[in-house]
Structure 1
């Protein structure tokens, strides 16, 4: 009996399977990509931030600046105590290239002053998000939490937006915000946004309101809070937060007068905090 010829058919089937595996086209073109959608291009990875390290916080503020912000240092007669006051107290941190901070607290004959400086280097662990963009998002969150009042218009800057109290404070009208607090120290729980002036009738209240600072670093804002509801001396806290590339810097400057009923001057404190912010921004750029 003659056998049936199965071999030629199997050979044809095998050839077809091999052609399907290689994906070769009839015209000799390149094989088809089995992944589909891979055009051969490399995905763009977001750029790292400008800064890889941070300044040493306790050494970032020089003695002259500390003398201005903390007058009690110069009143110390013991050289060892004075040196300790200049050194400040370092903030506990586990990685000084990511976070570093320092604080100073000094009493003088007229007030107790407190200063803290914090540096944070933001790192994005998402290849699609740059360090700068991550830092910008974090800064915006802190600015929102600070609950800054709406900027006063030119029609209200002459004084209709603020009312003077007997102690010389100027309370921004229409702000209606008590201000939240956040881990950056930008807010002041239990306090009201009451930028005080020197009491001069010619002073423009709008210039001292908590506000965005357009002339400092990439982004910046200033907050000014005065404690409320006490017959004793009222503590004022001025906070400046700014971002340069992927580093966020927070300055908190507070003063509480010794005399009952005393109110720290807002303009003076804001000016001191702003000058320190300019110095620290220069250290980063330098």
Structure 2
């Protein structure tokens, strides 16, 4: 009889709990439901490419013969060694691979290298493509491309040339003076710029942005000394392009055997761009 006396009390307690839960489906309950069922944080889309091509096999032998003149006249064993290329040592072949070739002939020495970098964003809010675009922009900024003229500066110079004065002229005492740029010590050139210069590059062949190659592309052309006391000149042409989350860098250079000769910028650029076009087509297949 004593156990039965507690049953009604237990039933009353359960009824109160049920009533409380039912009453909780008002404002407080709807807030919890909307948070749980609301829009989740979006995750940026992964890049289009998950793997990279085998670098030393990315260029056909006929193309290598054209890019490395003189190699085809060598004995077959030497040809095999040159055209096989040398793979660049990397720690993650899913993220970066490369290969290099070098051939010497009686007329000149030629070097060629290709580098494939697959960019991965570890930020869920930034896509692989956007991260690759940032990496590409840094590479372009580090190249020796001419800096576009500032329209405001050009307008100011035009006003000065025509004799017109700005609407709010500054007196000489208040005009800010430019701060002298310190010369870097221990280096002939500023950090991030090529050690050579684009001097000697014909008009129309200056370092520039390229159209119709991948999602973005540029070409750089640098003429340098051969070094080690040599008076010969070496020209190095670089073509860099991005396709989705992969950045491809081609470096093609030549150094004539005669110190009086200067490597042909037009020929090197045309060959480097042609190779870039073939590699870009491979990614679009």
TM-score between the two structures when normalised by the length of structure 2: 0.73
**Residues 94-150 of structure 1: CA distance to partner in whole angstroms, max 9, x if unpaired?**
332211100001101111111000001111111111110000011001111114114
More helix as a share of residues: 2
The residue number in structure 1 matching 2:61 is 63
Cα distance in 1 for residues equivalent to 2:230 and 2:101: 26
Can you give the 5+ residue segments of structure 2 that lack an aligned partner in the other structure? 1-11, 150-187
In structure 2, the CA distance between the partners of 1:35 and 1:85, relative to structure 1 (3 Å rule), is same
The residue number in structure 2 matching 1:217 is 214
Cα distance in 2 for residues equivalent to 1:116 and 1:181: 23
The residue number in structure 2 matching 1:238 is 237
TM-score between the two structures when normalised by the length of structure 1: 0.73
| CA apart distance, 1:34 | 4.9
The residue number in structure 1 matching 2:173 is none
- Structure-to-structure mapping, 1:99-138, within 5 angstroms: 99-138=96-135
The residue number in structure 1 matching 2:152 is none
Cα distance in 2 for residues equivalent to 1:138 and 1:195: 29
- Structure-to-structure mapping, 1:87-102, within 5 angstroms: 87-102=84-99
The residue number in structure 2 matching 1:278 is 277
| CA apart distance, 1:262 | 2.1
* Contact in 2 for aligned 1:151/1:211 (Cα 8 Å): no
Cα distance in 2 for residues equivalent to 1:20 and 1:90: 68
- Structure-to-structure mapping, 1:1-286, within 5 angstroms: 19=20, 23-25=24-26, 31-34=29-32, 40-76=38-74, 78-150=75-147, 188=194, 190-197=195-202, 205=203, 207-228=204-225, 232-286=231-285
| CA apart distance, 1:65 | 1.2
In structure 2, the CA distance between the partners of 1:22 and 1:254, relative to structure 1 (3 Å rule), is farther
The DSSP-based 3-state class of the residue aligned with 2:247 is: strand
| CA apart distance, 1:33 | 3.4
Cα distance in 1 for residues equivalent to 2:115 and 2:191: 16
In structure 2, the CA distance between the partners of 1:47 and 1:135, relative to structure 1 (3 Å rule), is same
The DSSP-based 3-state class of the residue aligned with 1:31 is: helix
Cα distance in 1 for residues equivalent to 2:141 and 2:200: 19
| CA apart distance, 1:36 | 8.2
Q: CA RMSD in A?
A: 3.0
